[in-house]
Structure 1
Amino acid sequence: MKKVNGDLLTPISIFQRLQGRHKFLLESSTKYEGNGRYSFIGVNPRKTYRGQDEYLQDISHLTNKSYQYDGELISLLKQVMPRVSSHTEFPLTGGGIGYINALPKSLPAMQFHVYDTLFIFDHLTDEIAVFHTNIEAEQVEPNIDALIEQLFAGHTPIETDYLLHSLEKSATNRYDAKFSGDAFSLYRKLRIQHAAAYMYYIEFDECTVIGTSPTSSIQIRDGELSTTNTEASIERFCEENSIHQAEQIQHGKLLSTFHAMDVVKELQPNEGLIGYIGFNGQVDFATPHSMITITGDIAQLYTATNDGEVPFHTLIKGGL
């Protein structure tokens, strides 16, 4: 890990200056001080795990080899996700960024890019930490100084625009629209119009996913579990695992016998999850609230609200 003063940059400018594929940005609006200290940025993942039905595909971007495993998807993900013990000030220093059962059924049911190098922006100190975790024996470690040089010597790309129009309702709380232009420009507009404690931009092969959510649904940090799941779900989880104090599971110390992914499997909500699984065993997932998936020239817009108002109307006009 290496830290540098980053007061001349922002998470947006860092994202724009990084070169490569499958970029992501996880951040929080500064309006939500409890969640917004760190922003996480990454590019060029080492692996991708893609799951559908009972088949999990393990794709190595280093060797261009692919493997397939059969079974329940979350259980398989628990087995294949690299686990590296680390004790740092950061909740995430590398791991899987993606979703579980959160996107339209035409897309994979589960997908995670695995990043071994992260750029972490600390909004409290204006420092940038570049953190690398070696998860493959044959891998050559990156030149962290060269990565930092890319941030400060690089130029922010010329701003581009987008068009989003012809909004039509396709299902309950889902809308279809025509899209063209730059997806990141749309995200920049979304993060202003729908600012929230959880905001994300993730590039997959099939689509780009952007969105915001007001709260975390399942978070495990330093052995502490917080969840917004219903009491009935928590009670059932405790009963099935012979745990006698459900209130301790809702917000308290997680028993050491439980793996984070076991908890995610049991408490995942029907709306799905989007967020991260850290190499260090920590997880943080939100449920989709205001989310857009862009596939080719089609954007699908999802809102968790059902107040009769057409969502995202401020985005339909296009432009920054």
Structure 2
Amino acid sequence: MALKQKIRTSMKKVNGDLLTPISIFLRLRGKRKFLLESSAKYEGNGRYSFIGANPRKTYSGNDAHLQDLSHLTNKQYHYEGEIISLLKQVMPRVTSNTEYPLTGGGIGYIHALPAALHEAVPVLQFHVYDTLIIFDHLTDEIAVFHTNIEAEQVEPNIDQLIDELFTASTLDDTDYTLHSLQQESPQLTTAGFSGDAFALYRNLRVQEAAAYMYYMEFDECTIVGTSSRSFLQIRDGALSTTNEEANLDTLCQTDSIEKQNTAQHGVLSPAFHAIDAVKQLMPEDGLIGYIGFNGQVDFTTPAKTLTIIGDKAYIQTTTDASDFTLGALMKG
């Protein structure tokens, strides 16, 4: 084991060849858990899986209102204005030079859920995780990374967390029921749901394996889905988007912009934050993914997504997911 201490961060790596992202998720204790991963078929995207629980904060918003909820103190703060611009103002920023694209930050979505749900769930929602578990599929290493974003918080015991991942018993297999499909629109189907949402995700990740696969627990809903490609990615200042019609002239250094096949690439101008690019390039279908403390982002569109609220599942597809078949997911 190797422990590295920095001003605001701490990290420990261990050999994780006895574990998988699924077993780590099941053994991780806490609420509001998430898992971001990629099918092994997609080598360019699939090196790391990210797992977390017990976020430090939650940012959520509708229209021109953003709520900042601290789970440590249970205090709420409210801001008025354009919600993506507000998100940029409140999202913690911590410089972190590591080999990992994400070591902590906001996990969530923006305008990515069906319009039929806008009265039930926020149109923007991000859990902010200060402790992440990172599974490296290339080396079979597990890294636990903690970022101190609040002075009053108690540092987690990383050794204890790692011990729990290896010694905690995995829960018994669970199941789910998805039934009574009803077509609401060409892109939205509803169904009855009962059982365990993570069991649904485990089936989805097999039947609809893709470069982007996600499971996110929010207080109002649980979101599971897969998508074949990144829509917007910014790493170390390098921007890539599959929005072929986007004008990158104002966001990127002009001499860096180029088009390759179906993507555009450029170097983000120092005058802009990654969230500025998110705001300017926001697609009609919305975005699901992460905003790192280090200013790196990776978002996909909700091509094949199920939003579970109580005993109902809202199944949405985008125009580039016409191959989504629900038969293999149906149970009951």
Shorter-chain TM band: over 0.9
Match of 1:109 among 117, 123, 128: 123
| 2:275 is equivalent to residue 261 of structure 1 | yes
Name the residue aligned to 1:73: 83
Name the residue aligned to 2:5: none
Name the residue aligned to 1:278: 292
Q: CA RMSD in A?
A: 1.7
Tell me, what secondary structure is at the counterpart of 1:212?
strand
Match of 1:7 among 6, 17, 41: 17
Task: Give the TM-score of the pair, scaled to structure 2.
Answer: 0.91
Name the residue aligned to 2:7: none
Name the residue aligned to 2:46: 36
Match of 1:140 among 138, 141, 154: 154
The whole-number CA distance in structure 1 between the counterparts of 2:199 and 2:267 is 40
**Letter in structure 2 aligned against 1:61:** H
The whole-number CA distance in structure 1 between the counterparts of 2:267 and 2:133 is 29
The whole-number CA distance in structure 2 between the counterparts of 1:223 and 1:50 is 26
Match of 2:241 among 186, 202, 227: 227
**Letter in structure 1 aligned against 2:98:** T
| 2:72 is equivalent to residue 62 of structure 1 | yes
For the Cα contact (< 8 Å) 2:61–2:67, is it kept in 1?
A: yes
For the Cα contact (< 8 Å) 1:275–1:285, is it kept in 2?
A: yes
Name the residue aligned to 1:83: 93
Tell me, what secondary structure is at the counterpart of 1:217?
strand
The whole-number CA distance in structure 2 between the counterparts of 1:171 and 1:137 is 48
The whole-number CA distance in structure 2 between the counterparts of 1:306 and 1:79 is 33
**Letter in structure 1 aligned against 2:24:** I
| Runs of 5+ unmatched residues, structure 1 | none
The whole-number CA distance in structure 1 between the counterparts of 2:234 and 2:40 is 22
The whole-number CA distance in structure 1 between the counterparts of 2:161 and 2:87 is 30
Query: Post-superposition shift, 1:312?
Result: 1.6
The whole-number CA distance in structure 2 between the counterparts of 1:94 and 1:29 is 22
Percent identical = 67
Name the residue aligned to 1:178: 192
For the Cα contact (< 8 Å) 1:173–1:306, is it kept in 2?
A: no
Query: Post-superposition shift, 1:279?
Result: 0.2
The whole-number CA distance in structure 1 between the counterparts of 2:82 and 2:202 is 36
Query: Post-superposition shift, 1:248?
Result: 4.1
For the Cα contact (< 8 Å) 1:303–1:311, is it kept in 2?
A: no
Which stretches of structure 1, 4 residues or more, deviate above 6 A after TM superposition?
Answer: 306-310
Q: How many aligned positions are there?
A: 314
**Letter in structure 2 aligned against 1:63:** T
Query: Post-superposition shift, 1:258?
Result: 1.4
For the Cα contact (< 8 Å) 1:118–1:131, is it kept in 2?
A: yes
For the Cα contact (< 8 Å) 2:176–2:331, is it kept in 1?
A: no
Query: Post-superposition shift, 1:257?
Result: 1.5
Deviation per residue, 1:221-256 (Å, 9 max, x gap): 01100001132x22xx52x56964583482132222
**Against the structure 1 CA distance between its residues 286 and 142, is the aligned structure 2 distance closer, same or farther, given a 3 Å change threshold?**
same
Deviation per residue, 1:285-314 (Å, 9 max, x gap): 000111000000000111224787773221
